[in-house]
């Protein structure tokens, strides 16, 4: 599987708060925002990202990290064959991504995601 990026998802109470820290102290730019998640990236390297998340809009649990790949269907099939716990099934989300959540052996929830064209 080709991984395009790995993004930490920082759990916060208010995704609208603290943007100045990420923008002015760390030099990041806001890349997207919804009422429950805001993303930031490096202006020079869009694969260097982090997200602030208050609660996931459709999944039953929040993810600790997002792994971006164009091979999300294949990754989902492998996870099912291996018997890995699927926390959120393979879903086409209304905001333009195809994703699923799995639980890793340490109990962390991983969002495996692909952006639809």
- The per-residue pLDDT string of the chain (117 residues; one tens digit each, 9 = 90 and over) reads 899 889 999 999 999 998 999 999 999 999 999 999 999 999 999 989 999 999 999 999 999 999 999 999 999 999 999 999 999 999 999 999 999 999 999 999 999 999 876
Asked if residue 88 lies in contact with residue 58, where contact means CB atoms within 8 angstroms, the answer is yes
d(CA 26, CA 8): 15
The whole-number pLDDT of residue 7 equals: 93
* pTM for this entry: 0.87
Task: State the pLDDT at residue 92.
Answer: 95
Domains located in the chain, CATH noted: 3-115 (3.10.180.10)
């Amino acid at each position: 599987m080709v991984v395009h990026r790995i993004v930490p998802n920082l759990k916060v109470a208010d995704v609208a708060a603290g943007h100045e820290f990420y923008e002015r102290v760390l030099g990041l730019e806001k890349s997207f925002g919804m009422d429950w998640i805001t993303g930031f990236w490096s202006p020079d390297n869009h694969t260097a990202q982090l997200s602030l998340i208050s609660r996931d809009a459709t999944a039953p649990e929040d993810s600790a990290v997002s792994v971006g790949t164009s091979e999300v269907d294949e990754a989902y099939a492998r996870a099912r064959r291996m018997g890995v716990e699927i926390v959120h099934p393979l879903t086409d989300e209304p905001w333009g991504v195809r994703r699923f959540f799995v639980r890793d052996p340490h109990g962390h929830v991983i969002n495996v995601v692909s952006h639809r064209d």
